[in-house]
Structure 1
Amino acid sequence: MEIGQPSPARVRPGGPGPLLLRTEREHRTGLGAVSVLKARGTVDADNAGRLSAALAAHLADAERAGEHPLLDLTEAHLACAAALRALAAPTGALARAGRALHVVQPRPHVRETLAEAGLPGIRAHADLTTALRALDSGETPPTEPGTVPTAPRPTHR
């Protein structure tokens, strides 16, 4: 599923990329269903609300379907504080329940931004393999300063 299409006015050479969101679902042996929300482009004040709404819907859909939700920020750029608030709002309930959203984001600026923000509902991983391994083991040791350990999520197999 692709949410949002870039407007011709927003696409300009050398400028920030438009925000595109896509959900991919797959089944992993031993782990079960995994749902990955992939964000591509720049998250800024203009589109942060759209990311927040899409992430909230992604988490709710994954919960209803018994899937493990992941957020892939590999191709995303967090441009402002609104981008962090877009992540903090939907993951707050996870943090209060002692869980966290596994986020894949190897770009250094994203890792640094998330570490400085110390969002307890976010668990950062360098790549998809590491995130899936953490889900499969049922343990998610803190990978960034300021994060809290998470309880294993019940699996639906």
Structure 2
Amino acid sequence: MDIGQPSPSRVRPGGPAPLLLQTVHEQRTGLGGISVLKARGTVDATNAPRFAEALAEHVADADRAAEHPLLDLSEVYLACADAVRSLDRATGPLARTGRALPVVQPRPHVREALTAAGLPGIRLHASLTSALDALTGRGPAAQEPARAAAQEPARAEPGGPGR
């Protein structure tokens, strides 16, 4: 017989994974310093403000250290609209200065949500290598599905474009 509070696993079996954040600093030849914020877990309504604050602080710290900030979302689930808004809040200052935060390896559902949201302060990349190539000018500025679709050859329509 159990006495007292049930364990967290019994209260929320299969519930959202806790949000973990870790910053990794590296030096890259030809690029200089990079600062990667690696996020892991679920961003939901309960922790979206903390995520936005940590991300904004990450970008500000990287700017002060003359590093390139990146965000690794390879192990993140966005559980609600608050999660997307938290990214928008944190990257808004970058967008207002014409910059964007490279976001690396978002899971397919996260990529879809971010692409649909059209956040001006982020650029999606399929890998860290493609993000670094974009920063050094060796690759495309962004690997967004929406942009890739826009770059496909235009189909001729009767009456010309827009008619």
TM-score range, shorter chain: 0.7 to 0.9
Which residue does 2:132 correspond to in 1?
A: 132
- Residues 91 and 134 of structure 1: CA distance in aligned 2, closer, same or farther (over 3 Å): same
Q: Distance in 1 between matches of 2:118 and 2:124?
A: 11
- 4+ residue segments displaced more than 6 Å: none
Cα RMSD (Å) of the superposition?
A: 2.0
- Residues 41 and 128 of structure 1: CA distance in aligned 2, closer, same or farther (over 3 Å): same
Q: Distance in 2 between matches of 1:125 and 1:32?
A: 19
What letter matches 1:125 in structure 2? H
- Residues 28 and 13 of structure 1: CA distance in aligned 2, closer, same or farther (over 3 Å): farther
Alignment partner of 2:56: what SS?
helix
Q: Tell me if the contact between 1:27 and 1:34 (Cα under 8 Å) persists in the aligned partners.
A: yes
Asked if 1:9 is matched to 2:16, the reply is no
Residue 14 of structure 1 and its aligned partner are, at CA, apart by 2.6
* Max Rg structure: 2
| Unmatched tracts of structure 2, length 5 or more | 1-6, 148-163
Tell which has more relative contact order, 1 or 2 (C-alpha 8 A, sep 6+): 1
What letter matches 2:107 in structure 1? R
1:21-100 paired onto structure 2 within 5 Å? 21-100=21-100
Residue 35 of structure 1 and its aligned partner are, at CA, apart by 0.1
Q: Tell me if the contact between 1:19 and 1:40 (Cα under 8 Å) persists in the aligned partners.
A: yes
Q: Distance in 1 between matches of 2:123 and 2:52?
A: 17
- Residues 97 and 10 of structure 1: CA distance in aligned 2, closer, same or farther (over 3 Å): farther
Q: CA-to-partner distance for each residue in 1:2-36, whole Å, 9 max, x for gaps?
A: xxxxxx73796532110000000000000000000
Residue 142 of structure 1 and its aligned partner are, at CA, apart by 6.1
| Unmatched tracts of structure 1, length 5 or more | 1-7, 147-157
Number of residues paired by the alignment? 139
Q: Tell me if the contact between 1:39 and 1:73 (Cα under 8 Å) persists in the aligned partners.
A: yes
Q: Distance in 1 between matches of 2:92 and 2:33?
A: 23
What letter matches 1:96 in structure 2? R
Q: Tell me if the contact between 1:41 and 1:75 (Cα under 8 Å) persists in the aligned partners.
A: yes
Q: Distance in 1 between matches of 2:106 and 2:33?
A: 23
- Residues 142 and 13 of structure 1: CA distance in aligned 2, closer, same or farther (over 3 Å): same
Q: Distance in 2 between matches of 1:67 and 1:52?
A: 19
Q: CA-to-partner distance for each residue in 1:92-121, whole Å, 9 max, x for gaps?
A: 111111110000124110110000000000
What letter matches 1:115 in structure 2? T
The alignment-based identity, stated in percent, is: 64
